């Protein structure tokens, strides 16, 4: 099997071949993470996910790839195109299925065009994006969406693709010796507020700790998943990740999965799940069965910052959205996506909407930075 192929599963691709294409150890495009979602019941057609991975093969071996899905809705993507879908369907078109290049349920910037660095890397990336367009046209799809792209991938998307950006809030390590050194870089008001929040959490009587995924028992993983599920249910959302997948993460990624826990005696009553890759920590899931002042901030943010400082990590990305993160040391950071719209008229309409969105986005950033938590802003 040589040339370009689209695959309905990663199950037949050797993990070593796929992971050799991931340049920075990003866990969200690792074979273990993506194939685990497929095998453990997280990606189903009735959830709107159908694997359709792009692979380039030479002499029967995978040499480049892109994690790709046929999507029957826009759930679990975090680059919101509901308005585009509604407009196209009101005009009589079928917006779904569409083609998505992404890591499922993961609003995390990372490699999407998996190409080893070489003198011909740019040529291969261009070949992958052209293959995506050819496939969408062959299937008669409305669009292709490539979300949370790295800078290395951006140049491969030519002017057929519309550019879109947004802001997340990321924490950056300035070489802090410890958490107190980080606090020392903040304004006095922000420093005082964080100390108060941490004090409330520590005064709760709960036992707070950070544990690696490989240190937890199956029973503890079941409790962690139940809290994740409970929080989604309370917000009226669907918890797509299964208990089997949570346990699998702990076994397959080990200490690259980190869990901040709050225990009442032996019972886990709150948790925040993180993943580590390269020089970064990524916050992903939160769940709690108790309402304790400051506990969410302690587990989701301050434990992550403290871990990143201890481990010498360059940054901590706590997840999508959330202006409240600014007051806790997280600064607005651009994320990038690219979008291929097949119909010329629809493409022009989306381009106009994106131009308006971009003007609003930059005004929003300037307003945010007037509220920087850092004393040397």
> What was the pLDDT predicted at 326?
95
Q: Strand 280-288 and strand 315-317: pairing?
A: parallel
Indicate whether 279 pLDDT > 80: yes
161 with 195, same domain? no
> What was the pLDDT predicted at 375?
92
Provide the CATH number for the domain around residue 126. Answer: 3.40.630.30
Confidence of residue 243 (pLDDT cuts 50, 70, 90): very high
Locate the DSSP E strands across the chain.
3-7, 49-51, 53-58, 61-66, 68-71, 98-101, 143-146, 161-172, 207-212, 257-264, 267-277, 280-288, 315-317, 331-341
> What was the pLDDT predicted at 320?
86
Report yes or no on 327 lying in a domain: no
Share of the chain above pLDDT 90, in %: 91
Q: Quick one: average pLDDT of 92-110?
A: 97
Report yes or no on 320 lying in a domain: no
197 with 262, same domain? yes
Report yes or no on 232 lying in a domain: yes
Report yes or no on 350 lying in a domain: yes
- Is the Cβ–Cβ distance between 107 and 148 less than 8 Å? yes
Confidence of residue 234 (pLDDT cuts 50, 70, 90): confident
Tens-place pLDDT, residues 37-67? 999 999 999 999 999 999 999 999 999 999 9
18 with 161, same domain? yes
154 with 259, same domain? no
Indicate whether 1 pLDDT > 90: no
**What pTM did the predictor assign?**
0.95
> What was the pLDDT predicted at 377?
66
> What was the pLDDT predicted at 376?
83
Count of beta carbons in the 10 Å neighbourhood of residue 356: 9
Domain that holds residue 32: 3-165+333-369
Tens-place pLDDT, residues 179-210? 999 999 999 999 999 999 999 999 999 999 99
> What was the pLDDT predicted at 8?
97
> What was the pLDDT predicted at 238?
85
196 with 258, same domain? yes
74 with 128, same domain? yes
Q: Quick one: average pLDDT of 336-356?
A: 97
193 with 53, same domain? no
Please count the structural domains in the chain.
Answer: 2
Average pLDDT, the chain: 95
Q: What three-state secondary structure class fits 209?
A: strand
Report yes or no on 319 lying in a domain: no
306 with 183, same domain? yes
Q: Quick one: average pLDDT of 149-163?
A: 96
Indicate whether 351 pLDDT > 70: yes
Indicate whether 26 pLDDT > 70: yes
The secondary structure of 69-130 as a DSSP string is EEESS-TT-SS--HHHHHHHHHTT----SEEEES-TT----B-SSB---STTHHHHHHHHHH
């Amino acid at each position: 099997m040589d040339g370009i192929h689209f695959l309905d599963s990663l199950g037949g691709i050797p993990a070593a071949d796929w992971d050799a294409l991931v340049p920075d150890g990003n866990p969200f495009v690792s074979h273990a993470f993506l194939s685990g979602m497929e095998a453990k019941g997280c990606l189903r057609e009735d959830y709107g996910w159908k694997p359709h991975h792009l692979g380039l093969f030479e002499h029967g071996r995978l040499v480049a790839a892109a994690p790709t899905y046929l999507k029957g809705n826009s759930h679990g993507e975090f680059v919101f195109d509901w308005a585009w879908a509604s407009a196209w369907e009101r005009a009589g078109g079928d917006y779904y299925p569409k083609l998505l290049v992404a890591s499922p349920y993961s609003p995390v910037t990372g490699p999407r065009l998996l190409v080893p660095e070489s003198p011909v890397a740019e040529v291969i990336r261009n070949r992958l994006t052209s293959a995506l367009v050819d496939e969408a046209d062959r299937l008669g799809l409305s669009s292709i969406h490539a979300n949370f792209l790295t800078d290395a991938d951006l140049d491969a998307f030519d002017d057929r693709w519309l550019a879109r950006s947004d802001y997340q809030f990321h924490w950056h390590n300035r070489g802090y010796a410890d958490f107190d050194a980080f606090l020392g870089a903040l304004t006095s008001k922000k420093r005082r507020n964080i100390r108060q929040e941490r004090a409330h959490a520590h005064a709760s009587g709960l036992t707070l700790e950070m544990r690696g995924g490989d240190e937890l028992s199956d029973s503890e993983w079941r409790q962690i998943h139940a809290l994740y599920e409970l929080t989604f249910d309370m917000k009226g959302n669907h918890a797509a990740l299964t208990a089997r997948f949570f346990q699998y993460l702990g076994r397959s990624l080990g200490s690259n999965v980190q869990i901040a826990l709050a225990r009442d005696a032996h019972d886990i009553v709150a948790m925040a799940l993180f993943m580590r890759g390269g020089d970064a920590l990524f916050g992903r899931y939160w769940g709690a069965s108790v309402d304790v002042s400051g506990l969410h901030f302690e587990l989701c943010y301050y434990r992550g910052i403290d871990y990143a400082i201890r481990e010498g990590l360059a940054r901590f990305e706590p997840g999508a959205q959330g202006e409240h993160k600014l007051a806790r040391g997280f600064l607005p950071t651009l994320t990038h996506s690219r979008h291929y719209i097949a119909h010329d008229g629809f493409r022009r309409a989306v381009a106009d909407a994106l131009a308006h969105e971009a003007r609003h986005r930059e005004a929003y950033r300037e307003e945010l930075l007037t509220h920087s938590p850092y004393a040397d802003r």
